[in-house]
A = this chain, B = another copy of it.
Amino acid sequence: MQPHLPEPQALVALVDALRALPGVGVRTARRMAYHLLQHDPDAAHNLSNALELALNNLQHCEKCNGFTQEVICPTCVSPNRDTSLLCVVETAADQNIIESTHNYKGLYFVLMGRIAPLEGMGANEIQLARLLERACDGLVREVILATNFTAEGDTTAHYLSEVLRAKGLSVTRIARGVPAGSEIEYVDAGTVAWALMERKPA
């Protein structure tokens, strides 16, 4: 729905700016703008400031490439992590989910993307050189590839495994299968097919 009113320019500009958020169309953007202006101007100020603060204060960790306010992030400098394990993820969100399992004590490398030739994402865009340097620090023994099980995530994992193995590193991929707690009847057939193919001794 295009606007039909002679809307004030500042409102049009705000709606346009909100549309840059992922998953936000013009209708949602307009609802957000009206909400902020009418009911929550404090939140609007707060969001404006938080955006500037984040842009000015966040950088990529020199070791893991994740977002941090320091040169090296708290996770990478922690003495409690296993320096022989390096888990490669596509995004900081994926890293977060793995951390939430409380089951992994190694370190991370955040690609901040994945190889997707159609989108112009190649080895350079995913900072391959930095990953190789990181993985070859002499401490890392195993690189765990935790990219998504999508076409691009699989391509990325395949490519990285070749390159990292050539460096003499042990490379593994997280398991693909039926989600824990789910009933097979309700899982998509592709997933079940993978779970069958990648079956393990019981």
Contacts and interface: CB of A to CB of B under 8 A. Distances in A.
A179 interface: no
Task: Decide if the interface of chain A is mainly helix, strand, loop or mixed.
Answer: helix
Interface residues of A, number: 66
A116 interface: no
Contacts of A73: 6, 8
A22 B37 contact: no
A21 B35 contact: yes
Interface string A5-29: 1111111011011101111000010
Contacts of A96: 1, 3-5, 7, 30
Contact of A55 (B37, B53, B100): B37
Interface stretch (A38-46, A136-144, A163-171, A194-202): A38-46
Nearest to A19: B43
- The oligomer's copy count stands at 2
Given A1-B97, A28-B23, A32-B22, A48 B52 contact: yes
A9 B187 CA distance: 38
Contact of A4 (B41, B55, B100): B100
Given A47-B18, A58-B37, A67-B8, A13 B112 contact: no
Interface string A67-100: 1111001110000000000000001110111011
Interface of A: 1-11, 13-14, 16-18, 20-23, 28, 30-38, 40-41, 43-58, 67-70, 73-75, 91-93, 95-97, 99-100, 102, 112-113
